Structure 1
């Protein structure tokens, strides 16, 4: 059967951005698979846990946006191919080949070796914050922490960190109210072009001056083994740069707000820091940074929950909705840092399961744990209703700012 689309006016509002979970609950109950109109592109949204896991492994839902049909045009726009044609937007065997090349850099043993460096970055950032008694936690901690870590891993020179961060933040905040639509599009396109040119030049520099870093390894895979094309080399670097910091930054912000608005859970965590690993999983389930999985394309007419999804349709899997499905999580709208590790899909599922999961967990544990320990009396600097968030149409769930106060 077919259904009328859920209009953008119901889902892409400031109220939805502040708290999407009542809307997700209504969709799970009444319209678990439904067409949705959005400011960016129309799609079908899957919101229940079982359907979500099935869809994330359904071979009829393709991730190849750059193949026949050029679906990337309606999703990313005409200037996206230089940065977004990468393993995130591809199917096996291309995805398998690209992931294999990069996966060694994210092996748990190699990531664990980064622990002292991550702890050093966390302490350096907090050393600047602690004496002040207050800060914008996004600007001063949550965003720079993973950006510095992934820059080290990739081999981006320290002298370039600030401008690279500026470009990525322009892309991240696309659609925010602080820019008109015309200026927003122009700013994002300019940032994309500058970042693409920078990464292209950086690859050439690594080729001329080989280095023991991830970009150097990718250059070697391109030049010596022929396993990467030049375009794949640049776009893979962009994917690792952006994915390597964006979701972790938003997770730290979301997790901090969740704990500060659930003081009983914050007290539990402060009293029992050994709960931190399981608390990270619960915080990710409760309010994750990636509300809807990156787009998929139906390669044939398919049916979910009695709803026909026509061939060529964009399909979104609502991860944050699935992670609050009462069929799988007891009392799902309650934050419980003692909750037994639940099989959430905050890191995805199937062949596109997050490649950087070990790094993300380590950064979250060190960053959040040290933050809570070194900022006693941590509290929001504004009422929660006044927090400025990324727009509801953003592919990320996060904060533009996070003003906090604490005992200096």
Structure 2
């Protein structure tokens, strides 16, 4: 049996695969890759929510792969970052950068975000065909997170390319190469920013000088922030706008009452989650989840994209309903590893959608739905391009 998560049709529409797997069992064994390895995938909502907080599911990848033969060559700053750790290390590292992304600091960023959005949209001409991913969904979050970190404007497109390559499904050499290029770049930049206060990279470098972080930890946090700081938001903005265009009644409702956008974000996140499958976890001991026995020492894939379409939690889950009042979605994860950048992602998406619907009320697709291209990654769910007429 082949890996169902690497099928080309899965990248275009993962929900058919998720639905089939969930109907068979909310937790089950599936082949992963082409080397005979297997993992357990969690597609049910209740099971995914429980798995996110189960201490028997570890994120310590270094411990999992210790002593195992591997042909992979990921840079340690990528393979051993905060997401790949458990408490107390995870708690310590999250405490270093977490406060930057709480609602208060994010609220103070809103005027800057609005300015970036306005600058990007000001280059669009009414009636023009625009690739919304290339000219808005990528540069907005890249600009914001790189400004916070201190990445020079001239390097931001290159940093974004490396970040995207880290999620290339079925292309391990491309992923490994990108991990080294990005890590080496961020190592050099963290060193140079030690003399430039006001940037996150300055703070990380100085913490390493004071012994609060190791050099590897400082760089790994820098890499993680630049990747996590824009990947989710890029996909969120593209997916949300596509969903609205494909549901004209919802688009009309928000256009007429843009104050509803804030509440609509959760349904847009649930409907087409920018995170299809959460990052690596494995079982440290045998456990039973959703009626399925999971042996010790195997990878466990939690699928928020599937859980957010679970009909046992959401009535008519394949329908976009901006008035929906239901269980909280899992698009940002759950528990101690919940995406720390969620407040920033929400702010960027809200400001973007509000500006788009105000300035370009007649926005529509420039190509048929079937010609849209999706990223070839099972972790992230996002478009490679979104041609629209404005």
Q: TM-score range by the shorter chain?
A: over 0.9
Tell me how far apart the structure 1 counterparts of residues 201 and 127 of structure 2 sit (CA, whole Å): 37
Other-structure match for 2:367: 382
Other-structure match for 2:177: 190
- Count the aligned residue pairs: 388
SS at match of 2:62: coil
Q: CA deviation at 1:321?
A: 1.0
Distance 1:344 1:187, change over 3 A: closer
Q: What CA RMSD, in Å, does the superposition of the two structures yield over aligned residues?
A: 2.0
8 Å Cα contact 2:6-2:378 kept in structure 1 = no
Q: CA deviation at 1:289?
A: 0.8
**5 Å matches for 1:254-333?**
254-333=239-318
Match of 1:70 among 51, 58, 66: 66
- 1:63-92 per-residue CA deviation (whole Å, 9 max, x = no partner) reads 110125439976x93324232311111000
8 Å Cα contact 1:65-1:71 kept in structure 2 = no
Other-structure match for 1:221: 207
1:100 matched to 2:86? no
Q: CA deviation at 1:288?
A: 0.7
Report which stretch shifted further, 137-146 or 185-194: 185-194
Other-structure match for 1:79: 74
Tell me how far apart the structure 2 counterparts of residues 365 and 312 of structure 1 sit (CA, whole Å): 41
Tell me how far apart the structure 1 counterparts of residues 125 and 239 of structure 2 sit (CA, whole Å): 21
1:201 matched to 2:188? yes
* TM-score (normalizing by structure 2): 0.94
SS at match of 1:34: strand
Tell me how far apart the structure 1 counterparts of residues 318 and 2 of structure 2 sit (CA, whole Å): 25
Q: CA deviation at 1:215?
A: 1.3
Match of 2:156 among 132, 155, 161: 161
Gaps of 5+ in 1: 1-5, 176-180
8 Å Cα contact 1:101-1:221 kept in structure 2 = no
1:395 matched to 2:382? no
Q: CA deviation at 1:341?
A: 5.9
Other-structure match for 2:114: 119
8 Å Cα contact 2:60-2:86 kept in structure 1 = yes
Q: CA deviation at 1:292?
A: 1.0
Tell me how far apart the structure 2 counterparts of residues 53 and 231 of structure 1 sit (CA, whole Å): 32
Distance 1:72 1:405, change over 3 A: farther
Match of 2:355 among 370, 388, 391: 370
